[in-house]
Amino acid sequence: MKSLVEGIQTGLILCFLIGPIFFTLIQTGVERGFRAGAAVGLGIWVSDTIFVMAFYSGVNYIAQLLAWEGFSLYVGVIGSIILAIFGTWALLTKPAFQNPSDIHFKPSSSYFSLWLKGFLINSINPFTVLFWFGLMSTTILQNNLTSYDIPLFFGGAIGTVVITDIIKILLAKRIRRWMQPKHILLLRRVSGIALIVFGIVLLVRTIIIL
C-alpha cells in the first residue's frame, strides 16, 4: 500500500501544475461541456499510459534515446510548433455557439479531434517525457520496486491524474452556466495566448539548452 500512496501523492503534484494541459481542459470543458472535456482528457491519459508502459518495457533503450543530442532539439521544435498552432487556432476562431447552453457539434468527428488534441499536447510536451522517465529511473530502479509495487505506484499516479482532471472538467462545466458568450470568447483568447507562450518558452529553452 505504500507504493499506492506514493503514486497518489505523485498524481496530486501533477494536478496542481499549471501548463498547456490545464488551459486546454478548462477551455474545452467551458465551451463544449463534460463529454468533450473528457475526450481531451482521455487523449492525455492514454498518452501518459503509453509513456509509462514504454519506459517500463524499455527503460534502457529510452535512456539511450534521451541521450541522443538531436532528441531535445526535435522534440522541442515540434512541440513548440504544435502548441503554437493550437494557440493560434484558438485566437483566430470563435466558439461555435452563441449561448453557453447551446452546444452543437458532431460527436463522430469532434470527439476524435478533441481526443487527438489532448494526446498531442501531452505527448509533445518534453516535461511529460522527462517526468515519467525520471519517475521510472529514480522511483523504480533506485528503490528496487517489485513487480507488485510498480502497478500500484503508477496506477495510483495515473488514477489520481484522471480523477483530478475529471474534477477540473466538471468545475469548468459548472462555471459555464454563469458565463456570457463574451466571457467564453475571452477564455478562448487567454487559452490561445497561453498555449503560444508555452510554445515560445519551450522553443527558447530548447535553443538555450543546446
Q: How much is the pLDDT for 41?
A: 93
The residue count of the chain comes to 210
Q: How much is the pLDDT for 159?
A: 92
Residues of the chain with pLDDT under 50: 98, 100, 103-105, 108
Q: How much is the pLDDT for 180?
A: 65
Asked whether the beta carbons of 25 and 170 are under 8 A apart, the reply is no
Q: How much is the pLDDT for 105?
A: 47
Q: How much is the pLDDT for 107?
A: 52
92-101: long-range contacts (C-beta < 8 A, 24 or more apart)?
A: 93/188, 94/185, 94/188, 95/31, 95/181, 95/184, 95/185, 95/188, 97/31, 97/181, 98/181, 99/181, 100/30, 100/176, 100/177, 100/179, 100/180, 100/181, 100/184, 101/177
Q: How much is the pLDDT for 95?
A: 62
